[in-house]
Amino acid sequence: MSDSPLNESPDARRSDAQKTESCHVSVMPDEVIQWLMESDPAVIVDGTYGGGGHSKRLLDQLPMGEGVVIGLDRDPAVSERVETESHDPRLHVFLASYDQTPKALAQLNLTVCDAFVLDLGLSSDQLADRNRGFSFTQEGPLDLRFDPENGTPASKWLAIHNEKQIADTIYQYGEERFSRRIARAIVARARERNPVESVVDLVEICRRCVPRSRNHDIHPATRTFQALRIAVNDELGILERTLQSAPNWLAPGGRVAVISFHSLEDRIVKNAFRDDDAWEVLTKKPLRPTESEVTANPRSRSAKMRVARRR
């Protein structure tokens, strides 16, 4: 990202009946509150603002009229929604990836924060938008970008990479055993001048190439879509860089909580907290959502939360 200032969502107190509210339900909100607020933070960063659930709960915990919550999100739709949904002057939301936290702090004349939370899962709002391609149960363009105004959509990504690169990506980021078979089919379509451009195109390939599992609980396209989404958005690279730099802008004694949804993310978080002496691990094992939360919000079932404190 360039060194230009971040854009904060303007005039958060305007009303607009034509704007739609978020349908996203934040994961493990009680645990986030419990572990972050124990250190009495005054400046909190919500690096994956999404529907604003975590930010709003954190604002409720701050003393009246005190503290700051800074939200960041790469999705322009989030920024547009914030303009109409937010009413608390202590909330500042920026259109940016969470690895740009230092720039967001600087915009508010701050150098450090006291708490930092990341919820790395897809939001329900993104899944519901058929123009984004995140849900393989809806027809739409194969985009998969968090920020549809920047970067390379997944369909174009497939067009500029060769069979080996596609297969390696699907295997590495999706842990898909049939990655080479899928990559071969993708490239074969391109040679026939019928490239993969839509969600349905890729889902059909995955259905043909991935045998149905015995318990039928995983859609054959799940791992491939995950892999391409990670690649298009550089998700793991951004997570690694952020956790490496966070000790520079998290105040001593400050806490970071990261909620991950698959083993690749969780491994990065676990290793970052374990291998850097700047961190004191507070959760020896990852926290999991309660049974009641999973019942109310099934998308939380694979969530794992790890917490560390800046020494």
Q: Binding-site residues for S-adenosyl-L-methionine, please?
A: 52-54, 73, 98, 119, 126
Inter-CA distances, 289 with 6, 22, 261, Å: 34, 22, 12
Strand order, beta sheet including 91-95: 91-95, 68-73, 43-46, 113-119, 250-260, 304-310, 279-281
> Closest Cα partner for 82 from 113, 53, 116?
53
The C-alpha atoms of residue 293 and residue 303 are separated, in whole angstroms, by: 11
Q: Binding-site residues, please?
A: 52-54, 73, 98, 119, 126
Give the phi and the psi of residue 218 in degrees, each rounded to 5: -120, 120
Q: How many CA atoms lie within 13 A of 305 on its CB side?
A: 25
Strand pairing class (279-281; 304-310): antiparallel
